Amino acid sequence: MNPIAATDSNCRIETFQASDGYELRYRLYPAQGPSRGTVVYVHGIQSHGGWYVASCRHLAGVGWQVAFLDRRGSGLNERERGDCPSFRRLIADLDEFIRARCPQPPPLIAVSWGGKLAVALEQMHPGRTAGLALLTPGLCPRIRPPLRQRLRIALSRLIRPTRRFAIPLDDPELFTAVPYWQQFIRDDPLALRQATARFLVESVRLDWFLRRCRAKLTIPVLLALAGQDRIIDNRRTRDFLERLAPESLLVKEYPQAQHTLEFEPDTEDFFRDLSNWLEVSRKN
Amino acid sequence: MPPSDSDRLLIEQIRAGDSRAWETLIARYEGRLLAFVQRRLRNRTIAEDVVQDTFVGFLNSLPNFDERRELQTYLFTIASHKLTDQLRRSGRNRCKDLPEGSDAILEVQQDPAPTASSRFRSEERQQLERAALTRCLGQLIRQWQERGDYQRLKVLELLWVKGMPNREVALLLKVSEQQVANYRFASVKKLSELIRDAGLSADVFPELQETPPE
């Protein structure tokens, strides 16, 4: 199997046009058997829908239609690679996509950096989703560019916003301990290795936005943490979400897992927990 | 104290987009700012965030920077405000002070019980904020009363005193949500003017523009 999706026969690639004209591509996995509804899925800063084929297939197999949206400038979306006008535009993309493609508020699964967008979406548009499944979300990362580099990026944002900087996640071992998947990441032509100064500063502005969030989330929230995660600060992430969703947070931790749960040697527990949580969010 | 010729030249060069001048400015002040912030926070990661936000605030305010101001004082004033903001936020859920070392930082724990000094700083800050808010709101309320603008008064009372969301205020007072949002925006803008009164441009606080809707 080639996990880079365009060749995956279980899904079809479709296009959604955002309100500013940008064409976003997404993978649609039709539900097998009676449908439980649609689930929307978003990826991290470097990854894309092609990394999450196994979980998408699993969810489709238990009756969910899965719409995996690649972020503008990432994955299948070649135009303005690694760039975005503002973090608000990224949230608007997600919001417009959900409103256009989902008859009911869907559960939203968000991986790593995508977790920031998911939480921000619910803060901006409460009730847009039926629940958030945050898989090792990048709300409190351990890895960031060094301070000097961040300050260079800040100046570049003013004088040359499209200048590209490396995303500081160039070691596949940060994502997984499985050699096959490490090689997959190394060879992945769709992975985002660089982003513009504008994108990186927008990511900081998104952090500011999240820092100032006070409205409690009342929708179900699943927080999946990897015990051996080198990218995410689990304790701070957990504290952050316990404050934001004190009544509706469910935490699942996989003690031996690395950052990308999808790339673990055994994903059975993770997939089962995700399906179970989706079922609960559907009933809610 | 007026700025040195060297600082003035540096600012001119940065304004012209000279990245080497920016590097020079960072090299000149980064260490001192970090030491200043870290003494209070004792957490390298968070201290770096505060210094980052200080430089970003400085860059943001550069088009309106008053060149008669001394650069060092200006940067440290911004850093003090960012630091106070950080302490105020962490005062609600203070980070335990830990010895230096990356492992210790990664294992930073949340302490639900703030210390006396943290509580004092937080209370001190709250008093200052309360005084500033009282002054500003008093002035605003007098202006609205003089103009007979009681609808605006009602809207803001429901928003800020009763803590109601925009939508409910709009429904209760039979005005549009947009109107409620406009009143809120105009009043928050007035608070930004208070910051300017304190001698700093609102541009140095770009994060205040990222407040989520309620």
> Interface pTM (ipTM) of the complex?
0.76
Of B93, B109, B212, nearest to A212 by CB-CB distance is B212
HEC readout, chain A: CCCCHHHCCCCEEEEEECCCCCEEEEEEECCCCCCCEEEEEECCCCCCHHHHHHHHHHHHHCCEEEEEECCCCCCCCCCCCCCCCCHHHHHHHHHHHHHHHCCCCCEEEEECCHHHHHHHHHHHCCCCCCEEEEECCCCCECCCCCHHHHHHHHHHHHHCCCCEEECCCCCHHHCCCCHHHHHHHHHCCCCCCEEEHHHHHHHHHHHHHHHCCCCCCCCCEEEEEECCCCCECHHHHHHHHHHHCCCCEEEEEECCCCCCHHHCCCCHHHHHHHHHHHHHHHHC
Flag whether pLDDT at B1 surpasses 80. no
Query: Which CATH architecture group holds B5-106?
Result: Orthogonal Bundle (1.10)
Higher pLDDT, A80 or B148: A80
pLDDT value for B5: 82
Asked if A148 is an interface residue toward chain B (Cβ–Cβ < 8 A), one would say yes
Q: What confidence tier does A284 reach under pLDDT thresholds 50, 70, 90?
A: confident
Flag whether pLDDT at B48 surpasses 80. yes
Q: What is the mean pLDDT of residues A86-97?
A: 97
Flag whether pLDDT at A12 surpasses 60. yes
Q: What is the distance in angstroms between the CA of the first residue and the CA of the last residue of chain B?
A: 43
Tell me the average pLDDT of chain A: 94
Among candidates A24, A203, A187, which has minimal Cα distance to A98? Answer: A24
Flag whether pLDDT at A243 surpasses 80. yes
Flag whether pLDDT at A191 surpasses 90. yes
Token duo for residue B36:
């200043």
Q: How far apart are CA A183 and CA B194, in angstroms?
A: 55
Instruction: Identify the weakest region by mean pLDDT among A196-200, A206-210, B84-88, B126-130.
Output: B126-130
pLDDT value for B132: 57
Instruction: Identify the weakest region by mean pLDDT among A110-119, A158-167, B57-66, B82-91.
Output: B82-91
- Chain A residues closer than 8 Å to B110 by CB: 235-236, 239
Determine contact, residues A128/A141, Cβ cutoff 8 Å: no
Distances (CA, A) of B180 to A127, A155, A182, B145, B183: 21, 37, 52, 18, 5
Q: Which residues touch A266 (CB under 8 Å, ≥6 apart)? A: none
Asked if A215 is an interface residue toward chain B (Cβ–Cβ < 8 A), one would say yes
- In chain B, the percentage of residues whose pLDDT exceeds 90 is 18
Please name every residue paired with A164 in a beta bridge, in sequence order, or none if there are none: A196
Q: What confidence tier does B176 reach under pLDDT thresholds 50, 70, 90?
A: confident
Flag whether pLDDT at A30 surpasses 50. yes
A:56-115 residues touching chain B, CB 8 A cutoff: none
Taking an 8 Å cut-off on Cβ atoms, the answer to whether A158 and B206 are in contact is no
Asked if A149 is an interface residue toward chain B (Cβ–Cβ < 8 A), one would say no
Q: What is the mean pLDDT of residues B198-206?
A: 65
Closest approach of chain A CAs to the CA of B118, in angstroms? 20
- The residue ranges of every structural domain in chain B are 5-106, 119-210
Higher pLDDT, A166 or B146: A166
Q: Which domains does chain A have, with CATH numbers?
A: 5-276 (3.40.50.1820)
- Chain A residues closer than 8 Å to B212 by CB: 120, 123-124, 209, 212-215
Among 2.60.34, 2.60.40, 1.10.10, 1.10.540, name the CATH number for the domain at B119-210.
1.10.10
Closest approach of chain B CAs to the CA of A159, in angstroms? 6
Flag whether pLDDT at B102 surpasses 70. no
Read off the amino acid at residue B101: G
Taking an 8 Å cut-off on Cβ atoms, the answer to whether B106 and A233 are in contact is yes
Tokens 């548009």: give the residue. A125
